[in-house]
Amino acid sequence: MPTRKTREIRTPHHPHDRYARNILQNRELATDLIRLSLPARILETIDLDSLTPGKESFIDEQMAEHFLDICYTGQLKDGERLRVNILFEHKSTDPDTPVYHQLLRYIVQINSYELHQRNAASVTIPVLLYQGDKPFRKELAKDIYRRYSSDYLQFVPHFDYIVTDVNDMTTREYARLVSRLTYLFIEVLLCGRNPSLILEKWEEIIIFVTENESSDAVVHLFKCTALYFASISENFKTRLHNNMAYEAETPFEKFVEETFTKENIPYIRQRIADVKKLREERAKGIAEGTAKGIAEGTVKGKETTIRTFLAKMHDMPDEEVAILFDVTPEYIRDLREKM
């Protein structure tokens, strides 16, 4: 039998996996992702209000790097009160081996645990949240065992699974309809593949958090996203450090946990607004100075001027720089890559 572990014992190795795992531990956010992922005909039969997070993790020696603690169990709406499990698996890259076998191991371990507890077997719906930058290759039993005839395929376990690809434009559009929080979660995962977009997306999250009711789910997303962005972008971490002026010796995780609370949202909003205003005033002064230099012939060419500005204001978002110099954000991004 698989051994039982508490969820605190093991954590994913990669920041992308850790972020997805932490986000989905919030029931409201997980339920929204279920609404985004499952077909309508299935959603209509599940009592979403009955969904509760699983309390167990199942691992064995072969699955030492895989995690099964993001699993929600709920009831169907029919009179028999049949149980269904929604299993979340996250991939930040295109896996080298079929994810089918990994999901199969999860399903078998869930059923084995139910048997051990003398519970009736329940149905598990695997949902793969995919964040990779390459198209995902979905493989089912018929694909993996395609060399075998139907006489042999009857002995192979068959099941389907759902792929929610954050790169899919349809997924992103539907996420906005499900909830603004779900949309931001999907967008943050996209930033994980393109860190140059982090500062722009953080500004959007700040606006959302400070202009909307600060529910537990909102604050949870806020905290998790701050930690995630800091883990993949040193520039973001430094900028947040300077904006909030927290003590350097304070561990970043502790700073986020203590500062990013529902009660502190007004303070965070005002603090960031003040810093942004000072940065804009400074940027305006530098821009006016460089413009004057061009007029006096001390600086040659607009591109040289912008390069000089970017060297001094390297953490300023591309959109703000573009407005100052009347160019496109794409132009600024291209120029940064050349520097």
Question: Is 27 a residue whose pLDDT tops 70?
Answer: yes
Average pLDDT in the chain = 81
The pLDDT of residue 290: 60
Select the highest-mean-pLDDT range: 16-20, 75-79, 257-261, 267-271: 16-20
Higher-pLDDT residue of 174 and 277 is 174
The pLDDT of residue 293: 58
Question: Is 208 a residue whose pLDDT tops 60?
Answer: yes
* Helix axis angle, 302-312 to 329-338, nearest 10°: 80
Q: What are the tens digits of pLDDT across the range 317-338?
A: 777 777 777 778 888 888 888 8
Indicate the domain borders of the chain: 3-174
Q: Name which of 48, 116, 108 is nearest 84 in CA terms.
A: 48
Higher-pLDDT residue of 153 and 259 is 153
Select the highest-mean-pLDDT range: 21-30, 55-64, 209-218, 282-291: 21-30
- Give me the mean pLDDT over the 250-275 stretch: 79
Q: What are the tens digits of pLDDT across the range 41-62?
A: 999 999 999 999 876 544 444 4
Q: What are the tens digits of pLDDT across the range 121-173?
A: 899 999 999 998 888 989 999 999 999 999 999 999 999 999 999 999 999 99
- Find out whether 84 and 125 touch, Cβ atoms under 8 Å: yes
The pTM score is 0.74
Strand partners, 5: 57
- Find out whether 325 and 313 touch, Cβ atoms under 8 Å: no
- Find out whether 316 and 196 touch, Cβ atoms under 8 Å: no
Question: Is 252 a residue whose pLDDT tops 70?
Answer: yes
The pLDDT of residue 296: 53
Q: How far is CA 192 from CA 23, 133, 251, in A?
A: 14, 10, 22
The pLDDT of residue 316: 74
The rounded distance, in Å, linking the Cα atoms of 110 and 147 is 30
- Give me the mean pLDDT over the 85-114 stretch: 89
